[in-house]
């Protein structure tokens, strides 16, 4: 599966996403549909909707506005790079109607170890970023904890990557990992196009394909799915674990409304 051509203007660049874990759960499409905003429907793989907890490190994040915009060609942006750890909860979705039915992701939460990217993503794109206490004692570990609604939200896991995925498992891995669009509710806060965006907007993501491995994963604590209500809906007996060393560069284009 290749990366489609983006539409719109580039606004952000990440130098690398590294040491990633994808912990994915199937659930009935109708159960996920009840949690999605109007305009989005579950993207289905073999009759099931899917949600994932994704843990990774995001490196060298900086604004990357088009050269045609004021300051777009300024080299100053190179000095504003930040890196952070991240754990997100995401669903696999597509637009409810129209063409193209471009499959992508919808975030229920995005935990971040750094304040600046959190505030920027909240203000500019209305994304559900939250500052969280995170640590990576090793490349294949993640420790994450924060409080929401008076309750602790935690993810503590370690994993051991194995062989590259093949056959039917590769099909599932591509469904989960090869996602090149992001959907979210508007408005987009301070973004200049906010008044032109509908209830749901789309951003396109450009990067090389993931090289995905099967992995053995040991989860010590995991309450990431509780705040969204997903914990009671997913089939935990059918969880699938994948790992990847990462991808880079990663560019984000704000496309417009769905």
* pLDDT value of position 133: 97
Residues 49, 32 contacting (CB under 8 angstroms) = yes
What is the value of pTM for the model shown?
Answer: 0.89
Is 207:252 a contact under the CB 8 Å cutoff? no
Residue 168 covered by a domain: yes
In a domain, 3, yes or no: no
Asked if residues 244 and 212 have their Cβ atoms less than 8 Å apart, the reply is yes
CA distance 97 to 94: 9
pLDDT of residue 255: 79
Residue 63 lies inside a defined structural domain of this protein: yes
CB 18 within 8 A of CB 86: no
Q: Which residue has the higher pLDDT, 100 or 32?
A: 32
- What is the CATH number for 207? 2.40.400.10
Is 71 in contact with 65 (CB distance < 8 Å)?
A: yes
For 147-167, the pLDDT digits (tens) are 999 999 999 999 999 999 999
For the stretch 41-65, pLDDT in tens is 999 999 999 999 999 999 998 877 6
Res 175: pLDDT: 97
Place of tokens 């560019």: 251
**Helix intervals (H) in 82-142:** 115-125
The two structure tokens encoding residue 191: 């973004």
Q: Which two tokens stand for residue 148?
A: 């929401």
Range of the domain at 201: 9-257
Q: Other CB atoms closer than 10 Å to residue 75's CB: what's the count?
A: 6
Q: What is the DSSP letter of 230?
A: -
In a domain, 1, yes or no: no
Residue 195 pLDDT > 90: no
Q: Is 61 exposed, middle or buried (0-12, 13-18, 19+ CB in 10 A)?
A: buried
Looking at the structure of the chain, the number of domains it has is: 1
Sign of CA dihedral 36, 241, 134, 86: negative
Report yes or no on 127 lying in a domain: yes
The arithmetic mean of pLDDT across residues 245-253, rounded, is: 92
What separation, in Å, do the N-terminal and C-terminal C-alpha atoms of the chain show? 23
pLDDT at 121: 84
Is 75 or 170 the better-scoring residue by pLDDT?
A: 170
Confidence category of residue 191, pLDDT binned at 50, 70, 90: very low
Whole-angstrom Cα distance, residue 202 to residue 10? Answer: 13
Q: Is the pLDDT of residue 70 over 60?
A: no
């Amino acid at each position: 599966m290749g990366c489609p051509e983006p539409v719109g203007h580039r606004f952000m660049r990440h130098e690398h996403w590294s040491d990633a874990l994808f912990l994915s759960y199937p659930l009935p499409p109708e159960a996920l549909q009840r949690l999605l905003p109007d305009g989005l429907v579950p993207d289905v793989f073999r009759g099931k909707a899917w949600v994932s907890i994704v843990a990774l490190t995001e490196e060298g994040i900086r604004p990357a506005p088009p050269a045609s915009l004021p300051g777009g060609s300024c080299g100053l942006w190179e000095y504003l790079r930040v890196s952070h750890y991240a754990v997100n909860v995401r669903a696999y979705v597509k637009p409810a109607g129209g063409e193209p039915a471009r499959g992508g992701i919808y975030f229920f939460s995005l935990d971040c170890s750094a304040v600046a990217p959190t505030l920027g993503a909240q203000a500019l794109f209305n994304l559900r970023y939250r500052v969280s206490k995170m640590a990576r004692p090793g490349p294949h570990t993640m420790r994450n904890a924060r409080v929401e609604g008076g309750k602790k939200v935690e993810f503590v896991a370690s994993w051991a990557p194995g062989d590259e995925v093949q056959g039917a498992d590769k099909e599932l891995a591509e469904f989960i990992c090869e996602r090149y669009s992001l959907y979210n509710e508007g408005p987009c806060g301070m973004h200049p196009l906010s008044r032109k965006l509908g209830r749901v907007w789309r951003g396109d993501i450009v990067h090389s394909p993931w090289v995905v491995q099967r992995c053995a994963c040991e989860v010590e604590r995991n309450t990431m799915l509780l705040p969204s209500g997903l914990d009671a809906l997913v089939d935990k007996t059918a969880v699938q674990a994948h790992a990847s060393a990462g991808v880079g560069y990663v560019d984000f284009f704000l496309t417009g409304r769905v």
